[in-house]
Amino acid sequence: MKKHRSGDLTRKAASFFLAVGLHALLFTIQTGGYWRAGGDELGYTLIRPRLVEIEPVRREGRTAPRPPVTPKPPAPPAEKSAVTEQPAASPEQPSTKIEEIHQEKPAPRETKPEPGEVAVEAPSAGEGSEPEEPAGNDSVGDAGETSSEGELPSAPVLPPLGLASGMVGPIPSFTFPKNAEHQGIEGTVLLEVYLTPEGTFLKEPVMLASSGHRILDEHSRNLIKSGQLHFKPASEPYKLQMEIRYFYNKENGRYEVEPVAVGEAAYLSMEEGGS
């Protein structure tokens, strides 16, 4: 047991001294900074790290350099040219005549024929050439033909209708409205009647002049639209004026109604319903 313990102590002492030697060796390396070796042996250098701060790169927009503005030099003042008086032409010297220059037509360009082509000689202006006619005559003639051909045929002239009384048939007798007769009302109503080519009513009659009494005005409209008046046919729609008179006849002592066609009959325009 004692031998075993003494061996342990020697091993521990050896390891202690070995550790101390290694620490001493490392200490000398740190203090010296390198191995001093000669010949072909490698050397060792201790590199100590150092922190270096790197500034961030500033990204600036690339702007094209502006060209330097060079001021324009002031313009030199315009020198007044000396006015030289020309001597007046003496009456003895004849005045020079200016000849008019007439430009002739350029000669046609001569083109060399390519191999395999037959050259055609252009006729000269003096040899057997016919005078060219001015283009204006043809255009005038064509324009005249087109204008004559482009004209639309004019509409046939309609015969005049004549007096309105000639377009109305025999007028029968009409009775006087009783309400107006009891009140002793008299007056005259003027209506314009629109008719078809067959002599029938095209639209409602238009009152041009009122009698001043509603009874007589309404009676006149109903009288025209009753169909007792007959109108003659025509080639186109036409119009005429009817005057209806309400009066007291002293000869027979009665109130009478007298329709009369006045003025002249006329064809209707496009706005009025004509063709």
Q: pLDDT for 214-248, tens place per residue? A: 999 999 999 999 889 999 999 999 999 999 999 99
**If pLDDT is split at 50, 70 and 90, which confidence band does 14 have?**
confident
Specify whether the backbone of 270 is left (phi greater than 0), alpha (psi in -120 to 50) or beta: alpha
**Which residues, other chains included, contact 212 with Cβ-Cβ below 8 Å and sequence gap of 6+?**
187
Contact call for residues 222 and 175 (beta carbons, < 8 A): no
Can you tell me the mean pLDDT for 184-191?
95
Which residues have C-beta within 8 Å of that of residue 42, sequence separation ≥ 6?
Answer: 35
Question: Which residue would you say has higher pLDDT here, 261 or 87?
Answer: 261
Could you say which DSSP state residue 80 is in? P
- The answer to whether 205 touches 226, Cβ cutoff 8 Å, is no
Q: How crowded is the C-beta side of 216, counted as CA atoms within 13 Å?
A: 27
Predicted confidence (pLDDT) at residue 176 exceeds the cutoff of 90: yes
Q: What is the pLDDT of residues 32-56, one digit of tens each?
A: 654 454 545 555 566 777 777 777 7
Cα atoms found within 13 Å of the Cα of residue 162, Cβ hemisphere only: 6
pTM above 0.75, yes or no: no
- Look at residue 44 in the predicted model and tell me its pLDDT: 59
Residue 22, pLDDT > 70, answer yes
Q: Dump pLDDT digits (tens) for 62-119.
A: 666 676 777 777 776 665 554 555 555 555 555 555 556 655 665 566 665 565 555 5
Is 237 within 8 Å of 197 (Cβ atoms)?
yes
Domains of the chain (ranges; CATH) run 1-44 (no CATH), 164-267 (3.30.2420)
Of residues 11 and 191, which shows the higher confidence score? 191
Structure tokens at 91: 């009456």
pLDDT category of residue 258 using cuts at 50, 70 and 90: very high
**14-28, 113-127, 132-146, 199-213: which has the minimum mean pLDDT?**
132-146
Q: Would you tell me how many other CB atoms lie within 10 Å of the CB of residue 265?
A: 23
The Cα–Cα gap between 132 and 154 comes to 39
CB 191 within 8 A of CB 206: yes
pLDDT, position 123:
52
What gap in Å lies between CA 218 and CA 205, rounded to an integer? 12
